[in-house]
């Protein structure tokens, strides 16, 4: 009888083990042994720029960690940040830093501070059609173009045709980055066609000989990428691993993970793997750039 009672007790203890991988709750104390043997679900949401990269990370990570299910979805950096604030994602992917107001909202809603984790590098690329003879553009001219102050390609040394602008929707981190660093936080021209993802921008430019757009360097297949000058007197810099890591490319940027509080459990393991040599190798295969190693 005593043996039977002991067995029932042990079964009850095992049955109470948590399997979620979020931060700030009981799951943070889940043992490494239980994570290795029980199915754990991890939600990753946010940047459309990073969605393919996140999916490749998840696929490779799950091969090495079959007990962890990583679900990656896009929607834009703003959407991912909102999900983090509301507690509906474990990790937010963002192609821009969180704003102070967003960090305050996270603290107020969940009682935890935002933790910023740099996971990759990107050179924000300027896309034009393959038939466009342009090879470079200065940031001030690019800003005037997307503010509607320059409307002809001949104004920047190109052909005598009208400029057609393609950009991202305002929930996109790439939209916010471009607006800050290229437009000086001024408004986009009303003629700018806002598209739902970087793939859509590339497709539009690919089909429009007068088109120009912007987005992550990994999406630049089938179109022409311009070299970028910081100003009219600066040298034109090609987006590359070296120019992104050194910061000489004027539109280089970090790509981020954000968590509510320090990552724990499955989230911590995933973050550590992404920053490992194996995770950074995936970045190169997708077309972005790994973090510079000290």
Q: Which DSSP letter does residue 148 get? A: T
Question: Where does 36-121+254-286 sit in CATH, by number?
Answer: 3.40.190.10
Domain boundaries in the chain? Answer: 36-121+254-286, 125-238
Helices (H), the chain: 2-15, 32-37, 51-64, 77-86, 100-110, 139-146, 173-181, 198-206, 241-246, 265-274, 277-286
Q: What is the pLDDT of residues 40-71, one digit of tens each?
A: 999 999 999 999 999 999 999 999 999 999 99
pLDDT of residue 29: 37
pLDDT of residue 294: 65
Residue 156 neighbours by CB under 8 Å, 6+ apart: 134, 137, 138, 141, 145, 150
Q: Most distant CA pair in the chain: distance in Å?
A: 93
Low-confidence ranges of the chain (pLDDT < 50): 1-37
pLDDT of residue 221: 86
3-state secondary structure 50-72: CHHHHHHHHHHHHHHCCCEEEEE
Look up the pTM and report it: 0.83
Topology, domain 125-238 = D-Maltodextrin-Binding Protein; domain 2 (3.40.190)
pLDDT of residue 5: 43
pLDDT of residue 16: 35
pLDDT of residue 38: 63
């Amino acid at each position: 009888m005593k043996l039977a009672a002991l067995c029932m007790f042990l079964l009850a203890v095992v049955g109470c083990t948590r399997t979620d991988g979020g931060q700030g709750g009981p799951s943070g104390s889940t043992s490494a042994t239980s994570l290795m043997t029980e199915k754990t679900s991890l939600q990753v949401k946010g940047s459309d720029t990073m969605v393919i990269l996140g999916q490749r990370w998840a696929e490779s990570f799950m091969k090495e960690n079959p007990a962890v299910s990583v679900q990656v979805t896009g929607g834009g950096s703003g959407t991912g940040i909102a999900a983090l604030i509301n507690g509906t994602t474990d990790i937010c992917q963002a192609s821009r830093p969180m704003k102070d107001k967003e960090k305050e909202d996270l603290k107020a809603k969940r009682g935890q501070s935002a933790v910023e984790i740099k996971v990759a590098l990107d050179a924000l690329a300027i896309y034009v059609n393959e038939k466009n003879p342009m090879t470079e553009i200065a940031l001030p001219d690019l800003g005037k173009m997307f503010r509607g102050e320059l409307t002809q390609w001949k104004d920047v040394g190109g052909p005598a045709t009208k400029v057609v602008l393609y950009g991202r929707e305002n929930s996109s981190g790439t939209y916010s980055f471009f607006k800050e660093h290229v437009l000086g936080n001024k408004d986009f021209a009303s003629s700018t066609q806002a598209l739902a993802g970087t793939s859509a921008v590339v497709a539009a430019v690919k089909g429009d000989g007068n088109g120009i757009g912007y987005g992550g360097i990994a999406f630049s297949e089938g179109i022409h990428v311009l070299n970028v000058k910081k100003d009219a007197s600066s040298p034109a810099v090609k987006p590359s691993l070296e120019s992104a890591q050194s910061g000489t490319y004027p539109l280089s940027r970090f790509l981020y993970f954000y968590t509510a509080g320090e990552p724990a459990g499955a989230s911590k393991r995933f973050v550590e793997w992404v920053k490992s040599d194996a995770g950074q190798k995936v970045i190169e295969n997708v077309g972005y750039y790994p973090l510079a190693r000290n």
